[in-house]
Amino acid sequence: MANGRLYFDYNATAPLLTAAQSAMVDAMALPGNPSSVHAEGRKARAVVTNARESIARLCGVSAAQIVFCSGATEAANHVLTPDFRMGRSPVRVSQLFVSAVEHPAVLEGGRFAAEQITVLPVDSDGRLDLAALADALAGHDQATGQAMLGLQLANNETGVIQPVRQAADIVKAHHGLVVVDAVQGAGRLALSLEELGADFLIVSSHKIGGPKGMGALVSAGEILMPAPLLRGGGQEKGHRGGTENLVCIAGFGSAAEVAREALSDVERIGALRDRLEAGMRDLASDVMVHGVAVDRLANTSFFSLPGLKAETAQIAFDMEGVAVSAGAACSSGKIGQSHVLSAMGADAGLGAIRASLGREHTQDDVERFLAAFNAINTRRLARKSAPVAA
C-alpha cells in the first residue's frame, strides 16, 4: 500500500482505479456538451452512452434504466418520495418502511414527511424482521396510497446481507414498491434487479473504484418513475436536470466494467477476511465479530474489543499505519454510537471497528494488519491489568 500504510476502508471508499482515472483524463479533453448535436457534442454523448451501458451490465438491466445522479444520497432522495408518475398519471406513495440498520441516506426517508416513515426492527444478526414487515404492511391503508420498502442489499458496517427477495415478495403481495440500496453490494455480489424483486436500485461510483460524487438510480422500467428531484434542461430524459458530469460518468463506467470482473475474486477476498478474523481471535479471545452467524459481504469485518472504545481503536490503528473505520464514514468525522449495533441489540457503548478489504489486498497485508492489532491489544491488556492507584 502507499507510503507503507495499509488501507482497510474500502466500504467507505475504494481507491480510484487506474483505468477509471485514465477514462476521466480522456473525458477532460473533450470540449463538447453531451446535449449538443455537433461532432464535439456527439463525442461527449458517446462517453455517457458507453458508461451507461457498462453500469447497466453491472446491475443486470438495460441502459435505458440508468439515471445518473451526483451520488447515492441524491439517488435516495430522488426515489424516496411520495410522488410518482405512471406515464402521465400521478401515483401516490403514502408510507415508507425502512429497516433500523439502513444507511442514513435511506433511514432519513428522503422526501417523505416524518409521520410517513416507519422504522422496522431487525434481529440480533441485523437482518430485517420479515414478520414485522408483513404485519406493518397488513396494517397499511392502501386507499391512502401505495407502500414502499427501502432496504439495503448489504449493511455498510457489518456487511450482513439482507433477505431482499423474501422481503420484496411480501411487499409485492401488498402491491407496494421496493427500493434496494445496492451501494455496498455492487462489485461484491452479482446484481440483478429482477432477481431481487426490486423496482429500483441505488448504486455509487466511489464504492467500486470510480470517482466520488457520482451515482445512479436504476429503475425496473421507464413507465413508473419518481418525480424529479432536480428539474432543469431535460437531461436524463427529464428525470434529472443539469449538464451531465462527463468526467465522473466516464470514470464510473470504467469502474463498473472492472467491478463485474472483480466478482471472480470474491472467494479469495473472503479467505483473507476469514484469516484476519481467525488471527484476531487467536490474539484476543474476547474479540467480538458482529454478524458472523449469517451471510456477509466477503470483504467486511466489524469487530469490538471489550474495554476499548472504537474511536480510540481507530486512532491506534492509524498510528500503526492502518486505515480502518469506526462504523460508517458518513458523519463528517463525528463518531457516535452505532445505530446498527443498537438495532441489533448489541452493546453499542464502545462501538466497533470496521475493516473492509479490496482486490489489492494480499496475505502479507492481512498479517501486517494482525501485527498492528496485536500491538493495540497488548496495550489494552496492559491497561486492564495495571493496578488502580489508591
CA atoms within a 13 Å half-sphere pointing along the CA-CB vector of 277: 22
Contact present, 15 and 217 (Cβ < 8 Å): no
Neighbours of 15 (CB within 10 A): 16
Neighbours of 374 (CB within 10 A): 16
Residue 375 to residues 277, 283, 351, 353, 380, Cα–Cα distance (Å) = 16, 10, 20, 16, 9
Q: Which amino acid is at 214?
A: M
Contact present, 120 and 135 (Cβ < 8 Å): no
Q: Using CA atoms, how far apart are residues 207 and 358, in angstroms rounded to an integer?
A: 10
Alpha helices by DSSP H, listed for 302-348, are: 310-319, 339-343
- Nearest by Cα to 55 from 45, 43, 66: 66
Residue 248 to residues 70, 127, 202, Cα–Cα distance (Å) = 9, 34, 17
Q: Which three cell numbers stand for residue 32?
A: 463538447
Any catalytic annotation for residue 59? Answer: no
Q: Using CA atoms, how far apart are residues 156 and 159, in angstroms rounded to an integer?
A: 6
Active site residues: 330
